[in-house]
Chain A
Amino acid sequence: MYAQMVETGLKNVRSAEDMGEQERAFQARIDAGVKIEAKDWMPDAYRKTLIRQISQHAHSEIVGQLPEGNWVTRAPTLKRKSILLAKIQDEAGHGLYLYSAAETLGVSRDELLAALHSGKAKYSSIFNYPTLSWADMGAIGWLVDGSAIINQIPLCRCSYGPYARAMIRVCKEESFHARQGYDIMMSLAKGTPAQKAMAQDALNRWWWPSLMMFGPSDAESVNSAQSAQWRIKLFSNDELRQRMVDQTVPQIEYLGLTVPDPDLKFNAETGHYEFGAIDWSEFHNVLKGNGPCNRERLRTRVKAYEDGQWFRDALVAYADKQAVAKAAA
């Protein structure tokens, strides 16, 4: 999940008795499956939670370009390089769709970027891991974008119109990302023993962080229950994670690779795979800013933004000059 552990700021799930007339009407619209639009009345907590969730999602798309940017100049062929560039460009586009959706809730683009650059806003834990080999480009597209798709498809039906519409666009494009990743893995898995070992190594390193992307179990979480009531979260973290494992294990088997989990086994009764315990201390540590690449990612992002300042200023100066000339004519 690209947005992890989103706070609602509430201690209890809102019950009908807590709500005034306006809020009850709002909740009734959500229950009836009616989309909430930017200008509609909404409770402050809904607005703030959505801003947190959508902006965290947007920041993840933007920062998500950095691990892949590492391999653009070292892609094995021109075709792979073009594909990787197209994927990275898509991530930038996804970030922009999502920033626009967040802005409909009354927050400005500059505020959102400032929150990212100051380290105040979070982005997905997954992007704080290093990309050590070309196989990581395969593993990211396949597993990370794969996890993102599982999370994002239900969000196409979420209650907030602008967010749902952004998600529809994102999901349409995301399938290409997952497939190009799997395509890289297939080439490596069918290649030399060294290439196959590279694919296995990438899988070993990305498997657990990908499962962590969905966030810790939220069966008992007030935040998740409230988000579910608002229909901005449609399935629990555990349900989505299970879906990921169930659909990915056969894909791993096809590649002839090994799932890096000695406890993994198929339960014929439930039809689901059972998997080993996730090291949540690692997840919380990465979220706190102590992952392998947290500081480097933020530093790279801020540098890119600052290095582009002169160009953005020049565009504004040109636009201002043209506006003055037009007014004088």
Chain B
Amino acid sequence: MSKEWPLWEVFIRSQHGLAHKHVGSLHAPDAGMAVNNARDVYTRRNEGVSIWVVRAADIVASSPSDKGALFEPSNSKVYRHPTFFPMPEEVKNL
């Protein structure tokens, strides 16, 4: 009766105030076991205060071939960075 357990992606919040960060993945039969396993696999040394698990199949990802269309337009918009605007030495707090 054995069937492969679904894959879960694991996200850990390392400290209060920081965002959850992807740390890896694991297999588990259901969400509850995925959290339990994530505790054992990814937080053996106090790495976290909170765990999210998401079925890998439910994640929608951009494709590497879309990289140009998605990210190139922002290359030409350097004015979005504050360093685009040089400020005179004597002007402070900007």
Contact = CB atoms under 8 A, between A and B. Distances in A.
Contacts of B25: 100, 103
B79 interface: no
A258 interface: no
Number of chain A interface residues as a range? 20 to 34
B44 A93 contact: yes
Interface stretch (B3-11, B69-77, B82-90): B3-11
Contacts of A37: 64
A309 B1 CA distance: 10
A319 B3 CA distance: 12
Chain A at the B interface: SS class = helix
A313 B2 contact: yes
B63 A316 contact: no
A169 interface: yes
Contacts of B23: 169
A318 interface: yes
Contacts of A322: 30
A228 to B, nearest CB: 25
A303 interface: no
A318 B2 CA distance: 13
Contacts, number: 54
A312 B28 CA distance: 10
A165 B21 CA distance: 13
Which one of A41, A86, A110, A309 has the greatest number of beta carbons of chain B within 10 Å? A110
B30 A319 contact: yes
Contacts of A319: 29-30, 33
B24 A169 contact: yes
A316 B29 contact: yes
B26 interface: yes
B40 interface: yes
Interface string A30-56: 000000010111000000000000000
Nearest to A323: B30
Interface of A: 37, 39-41, 86, 89-90, 93, 96-97, 100, 103, 108-110, 165-166, 169, 173, 309, 312-313, 315-316, 318-319, 322-323
Given A37-B64, A319-B33, 11 more contacts: A39-B63, A86-B44, A89-B40, A90-B44, A93-B44, A109-B4, A165-B24, A173-B45, A313-B1, A315-B33, A319-B29
14 contacts: A89-B44, A90-B44, A93-B41, A96-B26, A97-B41, A100-B25, A103-B25, A108-B4, A165-B24, A313-B1, A315-B30, A316-B3, A316-B29, A323-B30
Interface of B: 1-5, 7, 23-27, 29-30, 33, 40-41, 44-45, 61, 63-64
